[in-house]
């Protein structure tokens, strides 16, 4: 493996013949070597590599070689679409060329969720319905049909034009009406391509959805695989716990009952069987309503409440079980999908009601008037990953931000990785000369009433120096929107383009506006702490309003804290601070995306100066110039 890596990435090697002006990077070669050795030895690897090290090419090169030479399958998972796109469109074609020089043929395949692909049966039906129509939708359907029929395009993003969600939902492969799959089924074609691929690229969510099915049935949408690589692995915990969450409300069952009762197969039943099923449905709904009413009464005015006691679901689950058995006994065709979902819902009700697993959190939420939902989720990934993933195949966990105080112990412990090799590579960027951290000495306490006004005034002052080219990161949508309302007039009067994240916004469009218009200011929360890639002088000023500690008003966070404190441990040291540092380092990394980046990271949180852990935070970030005076920004901003 080491000889191959030197031939591929070393001086005068394969990559130097493919990329003009290429010179070997020692950190990238180290990553490749470690990944290759881990795969050969079938060991787990923790790989932290700073921005600019060429991490993705570093792990893809040995992974592809290992897969092709040994006829293996490697699944590569990313969190963000831009990285997935870069891997499929840039990195893997390059690795394919490298392997060709070794006389090896690499095959790779991108896979997304079913809803991203077109269902040919549904498309053809809709196309025929609209042949005589001149509506706007009919023209779009004709364009899609032409693309699919002539070019074999089946992925929504590959169409090359926008399709509204309402129309796309009518033709997507999320559910298929065909009993027998047609020859031109996109999903069947995708399955075939995946079976032949050495490298399969997907996202974290798809992988964990596959793992859920694999744990239940032994098989999932993905073919059998021999190794897994998680890039952007710092996101693994949140995605995993979210995907494995069980969530049950009355609407979930009502929707399934409605689907079933509207099917022709139900209407074909005799009246006595229809009546029997209707009565079971009514009994189930009434009993579940009683359970939810009791839970809701105990919540008073709380938005959520952790549940520590069992909920008696015996009657509810028994009635739904009778309903399912009755449907099975009638041998109704074409309802197996609904039965599977009803059965899964019954399992979830029973699981939540038992409240038996101490490594899970159980809670109830209320939305609107008396709409109660019951939830259960693993408290950390190791609950579901230690058995079923880490005990089955070698896993490479790669990110720019996984360590805490130079150690992988916190992250590895939460994921359930007991034995692993590790590699930690710093960024080649010149932080010391090109980046300044500023923690203003006049910042108030973060939760004080003055903080909102202070933030707006400080942003106005910063804007005077930066002239735009600014990203402001918040930990709360509410605070961000309050600041935006007060800051909007200032920006409008001075000709600045203020863009504010909102649910469902086009994140990539906002990022492109920041890249292309220097007089732009972006206010972002949640997803903007990671994956924003704006190189050069398009982004020179990053403002972090508040240190991103986990929010104790979220159910899973509150359950984590209770669990740690019950064990007589310090929840701040063992959980809150390490989680904050991982996210802060991600946010910090938004400023420096290339060798040409230069600018300031301004942290408006006074705890950076007043709390003892402030010095630990600074030591954990790249070594930069430091100031407590905002006016010093002029010493670092590019001319």
Q: What letter would DSSP give residue 623? A: P
Can you state the angle between helices 55-70 and 2-9, rounded to 10 degrees?
130
């398009």: which residue's tokens? 538
CB 65 within 8 A of CB 102: yes
Name every residue whose Cβ is closer than 8 Å to that of residue 51 and which is 6 or more positions away in sequence. Answer: 400, 427, 429, 589, 592, 593
Which pLDDT band holds residue 298 (cuts at 50, 70, 90)?
confident
> Does 179 score more than 60 pLDDT?
no
Which pLDDT band holds residue 177 (cuts at 50, 70, 90)?
low
pLDDT (tens digit, 9 = 90+) per residue, 18-71?
A: 988 888 999 999 999 999 999 999 999 999 998 889 999 999 999 999 999 999
> Does 305 score more than 80 pLDDT?
yes
Alpha-carbon 286 to chain mean position: 37
Burial 392-404 (b: 16+ CB within 10 A, else e): ebbbbbbbbbbbb
Which pLDDT band holds residue 550 (cuts at 50, 70, 90)?
very high
**pLDDT mean over 280-298:** 91
Which pLDDT band holds residue 181 (cuts at 50, 70, 90)?
low
Bridge partners for 467 per DSSP? none
Name every residue whose Cβ is closer than 8 Å to that of residue 18 and which is 6 or more positions away in sequence. Answer: 94, 97, 98
- Which range is least confidently modeled, 71-85, 303-317, 328-342, 398-412? 328-342
Q: 443: closest CA among 432, 458, 430?
A: 458
**pLDDT mean over 408-432:** 93
Helices (H), 198-270: 204-217, 236-243, 250-262, 264-267
To 10 degrees, the CA torsion angle through 110, 113, 114, 117?
-50
pLDDT (tens digit, 9 = 90+) per residue, 138-165?
A: 889 988 988 888 887 888 888 888 888 8
Q: Which two tokens stand for residue 336?
A: 């197996």
pLDDT of residue 333: 80
pLDDT more than 90, % of the chain: 71
Name every residue whose Cβ is closer than 8 Å to that of residue 258 and which is 6 or more positions away in sequence. Answer: none
Q: 578: closest CA among 411, 383, 385?
A: 411
pLDDT (tens digit, 9 = 90+) per residue, 372-393?
A: 999 999 999 999 999 999 999 9
User: Which of the listed ranges 150-164, 460-474, 493-507 does the model predict with the highest average pLDDT?
Assistant: 460-474
DSSP states of 544-574: E-S-----TTSHHHHHHHHHHHHTT--HIII
pLDDT (tens digit, 9 = 90+) per residue, 568-587?
A: 999 999 999 999 999 999 99
- From first CA to last CA, the distance across the chain in angstroms is 46
| Mean predicted lDDT score pLDDT of the chain | 92
Q: Give the whole-angstrom CA distance, residue 582 versus residue 399.
A: 10
Q: Give the whole-angstrom CA distance, residue 279 versus residue 256.
A: 16
Give the start-end residues of each E strand in 426-547. 435-438, 470-473, 497-500, 520-524, 541-544
Q: Give the whole-angstrom CA distance, residue 377 versus residue 357.
A: 10
pLDDT more than 70, % of the chain: 98
> Does 368 score more than 70 pLDDT?
no
Which pLDDT band holds residue 370 (cuts at 50, 70, 90)?
low
**pLDDT mean over 623-635:** 96
Bridge partners for 603 per DSSP? 544
Angle in degrees, CA 140, 146, 152, rounded to 5: 120
Q: Give the whole-angstrom CA distance, residue 471 versus residue 521.
A: 6
Give the start-end residues of each E strand in 98-170. 108-110
pLDDT of residue 512: 92
DSSP states of 85-103: HHIIIIIHHHHHHHHHTTT
pLDDT (tens digit, 9 = 90+) per residue, 339-350?
A: 989 999 999 999
Sign of the torsion formed by the C-alpha atoms of 498, 501, 503 and 505: positive
Q: Give the whole-angstrom CA distance, residue 5 versus residue 31.
A: 10
Name every residue whose Cβ is closer than 8 Å to that of residue 241 and which is 6 or more positions away in sequence. Answer: 377, 378, 379, 380, 381, 556
CB 362 within 8 A of CB 352: yes
Q: Give the whole-angstrom CA distance, residue 533 versus residue 593.
A: 6
**pLDDT mean over 113-141:** 86
pLDDT of residue 180: 59
**pLDDT mean over 273-294:** 93
Q: 59: closest CA among 190, 302, 230, 274?
A: 230
Determine if residue 570 is left, alpha or beta; phi over 0 gives left, psi from -120 to 50 gives alpha, anything else beta: beta
Bridge partners for 230 per DSSP? 77, 397
CB 370 within 8 A of CB 309: no
pLDDT of residue 408: 95
């Amino acid at each position: 493996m080491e000889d191959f890596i030197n031939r591929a990435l070393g001086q005068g090697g394969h990559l130097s013949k493919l990329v003009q002006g290429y010179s070997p990077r020692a950190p990238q070669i180290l990553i490749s070597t470690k990944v290759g050795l881990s795969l050969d030895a079938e060991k787990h690897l923790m790989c932290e590599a700073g921005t600019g090290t060429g991490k993705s090419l570093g792990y893809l090169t040995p992974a592809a070689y290992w897969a092709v030479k040994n006829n293996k399958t490697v699944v590569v998972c990313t969190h963000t679409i831009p990285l997935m796109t870069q891997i499929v469109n840039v990195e893997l074609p390059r690795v394919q060329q490298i392997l060709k020089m070794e006389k090896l043929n690499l095959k790779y395949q991108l896979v997304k969720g079913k809803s991203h692909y077109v269902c040919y049966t549904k498309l053809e039906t809709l196309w025929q319905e609209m042949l005589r129509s001149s509506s706007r939708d009919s023209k779009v359907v004709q364009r899609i049909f032409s693309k699919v029929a002539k070019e074999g395009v089946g992925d929504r993003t590959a169409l090359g034009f926008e399709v509204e969600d309402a129309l796309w939902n009518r033709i997507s492969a999320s559910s298929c009406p065909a009993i027998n799959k047609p020859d031109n089924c996109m999903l069947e074609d995708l399955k075939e391509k995946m079976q032949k691929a050495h490298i399969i690229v997907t996202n974290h969510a798809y992988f964990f959805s596959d793992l859920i099915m694999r744990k239940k049935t032994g098989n999932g949408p993905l073919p059998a695989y021999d190794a897994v690589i998680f890039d952007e692995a710092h996101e693994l915990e949140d995605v995993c716990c979210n995907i494995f969450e069980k969530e049950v409300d009355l609407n979930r069952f009502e929707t399934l009952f409605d689907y079933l009762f509207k099917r022709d197969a139900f209407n074909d039943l005799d009246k006595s069987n229809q009546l029997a099923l209707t009565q079971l449905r009514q009994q189930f709904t009434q009993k579940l309503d009683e359970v939810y009413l009791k839970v809701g009464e105990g919540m008073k005015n709380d938005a959520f409440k952790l549940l520590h006691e069992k909920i008696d679901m015996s009657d509810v689950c028994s009635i739904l079980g009778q309903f399912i058995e009755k449907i099975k006994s009638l041998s109704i065709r074409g309802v197996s999908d609904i039965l599977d979902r009803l059965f899964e819902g019954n399992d979830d009700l029973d699981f939540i009601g038992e409240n038996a697993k101490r490594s899970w959190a159980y809670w109830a939420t209320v939305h609107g008037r008396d709409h109660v939902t019951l939830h259960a989720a693993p408290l950390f990934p190791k609950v579901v990953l230690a058995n079923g993933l880490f005990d089955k195949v070698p896993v490479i966990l790669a990110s720019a931000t996984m360590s805490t105080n130079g150690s992988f112990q916190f992250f590895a412990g939460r994921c359930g990785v007991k034995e692993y090799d590790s590699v930690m590579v710093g960024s080649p960027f010149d932080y010391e000369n090109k980046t300044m951290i500023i923690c203003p000495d006049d910042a108030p306490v973060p939760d004080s009433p003055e903080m909102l006004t202070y933030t707006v005034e400080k942003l106005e002052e910063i804007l005077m120096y930066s002239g735009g080219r600014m990203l402001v990161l918040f930990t709360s949508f509410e605070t961000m929107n309050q600041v935006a309302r007060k800051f909007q007039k200032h920006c409008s009067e001075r000709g600045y383009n203020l863009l504010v994240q909102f649910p469902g916004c086009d994140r990539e469009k906002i990022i492109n506006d920041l890249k292309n218009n220097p007089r732009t200011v972006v206010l972002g929360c949640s997803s903007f702490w990671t994956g924003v890639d704006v190189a050069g002088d398009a982004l020179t000023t990053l403002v972090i309003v508040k240190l991103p500690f986990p929010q104790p008003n979220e159910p899973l966070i509150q359950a984590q804290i209770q669990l740690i404190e019950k064990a007589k441990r310090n929840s701040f040291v063992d959980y809150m601070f390490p989680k904050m540092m991982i996210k802060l380092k991600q946010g910090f990394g938004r400023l420096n995306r290339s060798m040409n980046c230069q600018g300031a990271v301004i942290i408006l949180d006074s705890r950076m100066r007043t709390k003892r852990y402030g010095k630990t935070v600074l030591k954990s970030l790249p070594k930069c110039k430091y100031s407590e005076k905002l006016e010093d920004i002029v010493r670092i901003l590019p001319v």
